[in-house]
Amino acid sequence: MKVSPAARPLMGGARAAVPFAVPVFAFGVSLGVLAKGAGYPFAATVLMSSLTFVGSSQFATVSVMAGGGGLLMAVLAGALLNLRYLVMGFAISPALRGGRLRRARDSQLVIEESWAIAATPGGGFDYARLMGSGLVLWAAWSLGTAIGAAGPFSGADLERFGFDAISPALFFLLLTSHLETGEQRAVAAAGGLLSIGFLATGLVNWAIFGVCAAALWWTWRRP
């Protein structure tokens, strides 16, 4: 099928997302399994994935609610884990198009994978590649969640099949494509050391906050 020049960036983003869609799908399955084990209804689990589309906050919500925490604590846990989106949002905001409603809708497709795929060498972002990759990843995540919530899997299966290793492997794969310059490697190393420092001192919940704060400071100080 011949693709028009206008649609090539969109299709390029979709194709680039396919390798990432596989672990995202598996990650979605694990969320569905955990939500089912915590007593979440199938419809609520699928709706949460379709509207939220952020794995870390969804896992936090399920864990907090399953552990007896209230809605407020679940929201706070999800917000703390997703502070990194402040940095990502500042960076990608100029690439979004249209009015507030359209920009708000399109921003729902901004996750680490689509953000990385849409990044251009000059430091900007390609809107069409963001949409193409985001839609593929959203479909993989939603489908995976639905299968996990409706399928025969249990929590024990997640470790047996190595599902618990998907998330760190996926983030490492994203990182490797952004280590081309000395500055990028230095920033990655500094972020890793800062995270290790927080974890070593027992401040686990502040690790993401500290790294995001450092990233915001670095972004604003650059000319």
Residue 223 has pLDDT above 60, yes or no: no
* pLDDT value, residue 188: 81
- Note the pLDDT of residue 71: 75
pLDDT tens for 145-171 read 999 999 777 766 666 666 666 666 766
- Cα(61)–Cα(64) distance, integer angstroms: 5
Q: Which residue has the tokens 């990502």?
A: 88
- Residue 129 in this model has a pLDDT that exceeds 70: yes
Q: Distance between CA 84 and CA 96 in Å, rounded?
A: 18
Tens digits of residue pLDDT in 176-206: 767 778 877 887 888 888 878 887 887 766 7
pLDDT at 58: 84
Contacts 24+ apart (CB under 8 A), 75-80: 78/54, 80/205, 80/208, 80/209
C-alpha to C-alpha distance for 20 and 184, rounded to whole angstroms: 22
pLDDT of amino acid 164? 63
44-103: pLDDT as tens digits = 999 989 988 888 788 878 877 777 777 777 777 777 777 778 888 888 999 999 899 999
Query: Any residues with CB less than 8 A from the CB of 139 and at least 6 apart, and which?
Result: 21
97 is written with which tokens? 């198009």
Least confident of 70-84, 106-120, 133-147: 70-84
Q: Are 155 and 37 in contact (CB under 8 A)?
A: yes
**1 vs 219, higher pLDDT:** 219
Q: What is the pLDDT of residue 128?
A: 93
Cα–Cα dist 1/34, whole Å: 41
**Is a pLDDT exceeding 90 seen at residue 132?**
yes
The answer, yes or no, to whether residue 113 has pLDDT greater than 60, is yes
Q: Residue range 20-28: average pLDDT?
A: 88
Query: What pLDDT was estimated at residue 157?
Result: 63
Q: Is the pLDDT of residue 22 over 60?
A: yes
Mean pLDDT of 117-139: 91
Checking 163-168 for CB contacts under 8 A at 24+ apart, the result is 163/26, 163/27, 163/29, 163/30, 164/30, 166/23, 166/26, 166/27, 166/30, 167/27, 167/55
- Indicate whether this model's pTM tops 0.85: no
